[in-house]
A and B are shown apart, each in its own frame.
Chain A
Amino acid sequence: MDTAYLIETIIKVVVILLIFSALAGIGTYFERKILAFMQRRLGPMYVGPYGLLQVAADGVKLFTKEDIVPTNVVAPIFKIAPVITAATAFMAAAAIPFFPEFTVFGYTVHPIVADVNIGILYILGMMAVGLYGPMLGGMASANKFSLLSAARTAAVFISYEVVSGLAILAPIMMVGSLSLVDFNNYQVGGISHWIVWSQPVAFILFWISAFAETGRTPFHLIANDHEIIDGFGTEYSGMRWGLFFIGEYANMFFISFVIPLIFLGGFGDGSFLGAIGLLAKVAFFFFFFLWTRAAWPDVRPDQLMWLCWKVLMPIAVINVVITGFVMMF
């Protein structure tokens, strides 16, 4: 293992950490502005031009707020829970190819931290571990609303892990590899080669389960403000609460990278235009998360379970079987 490789990896890790923790902050600004636009409000306007410095103001508030650990909580678990959410979100990013490889001063850079050949499994696994954060926070909080939220986390996790796994199985069978770089190379021939045309069902299923795994609005039961206060976040304050948010927004960005990479051609042939195209797709999927939040109500927990086990899972299984038959004959 030579020194150049080590330095390159460390630089990549630091760059990804900095960019995406900053983006998580700016993501909250986008969310407020887009929700405001759709509800005919102005959103944040006072701090800086168009309210752009609101992010900085929020950051200062979160960092300087008193760090309260309530009396009856299980303190070590209570403290480690937000760290799990934030850390696993960034660990999942290690296997995502953010850009095509490019050359700087004659040195070829691969913008992926670890090109493991099981990338997609690793990403799904790490994102699943991220759900331990809300659950541990909820169980350690000594608060009934938090405990309800923890129970819902466990239910959502156990059900939607099945749907996303089965949905992604069909594209994996077609590509014959678990590496996201191979997924991208499979679709290199342009729009007509995108997997979404041959696997539309898998695409929709994976997209739906992405909402469940990031805990966004139609499935926002884990921290449902109008039913269970703030769920797992009720007892949290200051930067511990902020870490939960960084984790959630970073996860939204990363899943927005993963969906285009698997189904919509990724960065294409690796040209500059392809890289811009990937960013545009990521922006669309991130916008869609916010759009759904403005347009849809939350579903009830029993509707969520019904949707998962009686609708989505059978469709996913049938999709896998049909894909298998088509590939065999």
Chain B
Amino acid sequence: MFEAIAFYLFAFLTITMFIITVTTSQALYALTALAAGMIFISAFFFILGADFLGAIQIIVYTGAVMALYAFGMMFFDTTRSVKEKQGNKFIITGLSTLAAVLVVLIVAAPMVSDNIVALYPAIDTMGNTQNVGLVLFTKYLVPFELAAVMLLVAMVAGIVLAGKKMDRSITLTNDAELEIEKNKKVLS
């Protein structure tokens, strides 16, 4: 019974949060609702007994959404609503509903016809952290390593883009030198 109560409670909360995220025109509401929704999703992992994935969901998405907040801070006055350019509302609503229905159908069809078999069923004697590790480092080792390489590439690219003047600290340069540089830029 508790599982059912928790499931419906968190299902309701998650959907409400994501509806707020897409409908509001206030950047702070959208970001906060997105963070809350992402954290509420972890409840489903906990209900299903996948504690490890639940905790990882919390840790990863708090960090990810925190980075979005930083962008929000840089680009908007987050205490004011954003004026949105709205196109044809019927097309947007229709397309998103269609996409949502399609996703549900694609995921639900194999379940309804019972065509899903767990190739690597969870081993009961091990905790779910060990189970995740076992599958990740045997069956899915290649995708795992590929993802690692992709992230490494992204990191190197990020450092190259951001690190052009990294060896020079603006805090340690004195004001007179900064002023001279500024004038040079204006002149040239």
Number of interface residues of A (CB under 8 A): 36
Q: In the complex, what's the smallest C-beta–C-beta distance from B95 to chain A, in angstroms?
A: 30
**Docked pose: A128 CA to B39 CA in angstroms:** 12
Please choose the segment from B7-15, B56-64, B142-150 that sits at the chain A interface, where 4 or more of its residues have CB less than 8 A away: B56-64
Given contacts A128-B62, A139-B69, contact A73 B79 (CB under 8 A): yes
Is residue B173 contacting chain A, with contact meaning CB distance below 8 A? no
Chain A residues with Cβ under 8 A from B55's Cβ?
118, 121-122, 125
Given contacts A154-B73, A158-B66, A302-B171, contact A125 B59 (CB under 8 A): yes
Given contacts A116-B51, A118-B51, A139-B73, contact A157 B66 (CB under 8 A): yes
The SS class assigned to the A binding surface is helix
Given contacts A139-B78, A302-B169, contact A151 B73 (CB under 8 A): yes
Interface residues on B, range: 20 to 34
- Within the complex, which residue of B29, B73, B128, B129 is in contact with A147, where a contact is CB–CB below 8 Å? B73
Is residue B120 contacting chain A, with contact meaning CB distance below 8 A? no
Q: In the complex, what's the smallest C-beta–C-beta distance from B8 to chain A, in angstroms?
A: 17
Chain B residues with Cβ under 8 A from A126's Cβ?
58
Is residue B28 contacting chain A, with contact meaning CB distance below 8 A? yes
**Docked pose: A127 CA to B119 CA in angstroms:** 36
Q: How many A-B residue pairs lie within 8 Å, measured between CB atoms? A: 86
Is residue A140 contacting chain B, with contact meaning CB distance below 8 A? yes
Name B39's closest neighbour in chain A (CB-CB): A129
Chain A residues with Cβ under 8 A from B129's Cβ?
117-118, 178
Name B67's closest neighbour in chain A (CB-CB): A158
Is residue A202 contacting chain B, with contact meaning CB distance below 8 A? no
**Docked pose: A140 CA to B78 CA in angstroms:** 7
Q: In the complex, what's the smallest C-beta–C-beta distance from B73 to chain A, in angstroms?
A: 6
Q: List 20 A-B contacts (CB under 8 A).
A: A1-B2, A74-B26, A77-B28, A77-B29, A117-B128, A121-B52, A122-B51, A128-B63, A129-B62, A131-B66, A135-B66, A139-B28, A139-B69, A139-B79, A140-B28, A140-B78, A142-B79, A158-B67, A178-B129, A302-B171
